[in-house]
């Protein structure tokens, strides 16, 4: 991929991560980690800016140093998955979709909870 594509995708990830700060249903951390990766490929200067950012920098550094997720984020992520599953059940989503959703959410929750804090 060209540097320009990495930059465009990186800024898109930053935009989605920033929206996640305002919209509780949209996760911030995965998008910011993706942006750091993409900027690492497309622009080390912008990656450095992101690492030094007062809001986004610490989460990237924690992840890169220890693979850590803060307890607050773990609780939030697992709560959102549980609420999403309950909403799906409440609105009568088909049983097969609920099984798939429960499987994906369970695997994701196990991964999240197994990360250091």
46 and 8 in a common domain? yes
The pLDDT value recorded for residue 105 is 87
59 and 76 in a common domain? no
**Structure token pair of residue 100:** 């798939």
Domain coverage including residue 101: 71-114
23 vs 66, more confident: 66
76 and 62 in a common domain? no
37 and 85 in a common domain? no
103 and 52 in a common domain? no
Q: Please give the Cα distance from 10 to 30 (Å, whole number).
A: 12
62 and 93 in a common domain? no
pLDDT tens digits for range 45-97: 999 999 999 988 988 988 888 888 888 888 888 888 898 899 999 999 999 99
39 and 78 in a common domain? no
Number of structural domains found in the chain: 2
- pTM for the model stands at 0.67
> Would the pLDDT of 24 be above 80?
no
75 and 44 in a common domain? no
62 and 8 in a common domain? yes
41 and 9 in a common domain? yes
51 and 31 in a common domain? yes
Chain center to CA of 93: 25
**Structure token pair of residue 57:** 């920098």
Residues 37 and 60 sit within 8 Å (Cβ to Cβ): no
pLDDT tens digits for range 33-57: 899 999 999 999 999 999 999 988 9
């Amino acid at each position: 991929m060209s540097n320009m594509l990495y930059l465009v995708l990186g800024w898109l990830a930053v935009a989605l991560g920033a929206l996640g700060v305002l919209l509780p249903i949209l996760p911030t951390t995965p998008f910011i980690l993706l942006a750091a990766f993409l900027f690492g490929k497309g622009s080390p200067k912008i990656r450095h800016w992101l690492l030094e950012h007062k809001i986004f920098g610490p989460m990237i550094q924690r992840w890169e140093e220890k693979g850590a997720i803060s307890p607050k984020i773990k609780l939030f992520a697992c709560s959102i998955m549980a609420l999403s599953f309950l909403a799906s059940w409440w609105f009568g989503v088909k049983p097969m979709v609920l099984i798939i959703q429960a499987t994906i959410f369970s695997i994701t929750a196990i991964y999240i909870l197994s990360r250091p804090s």
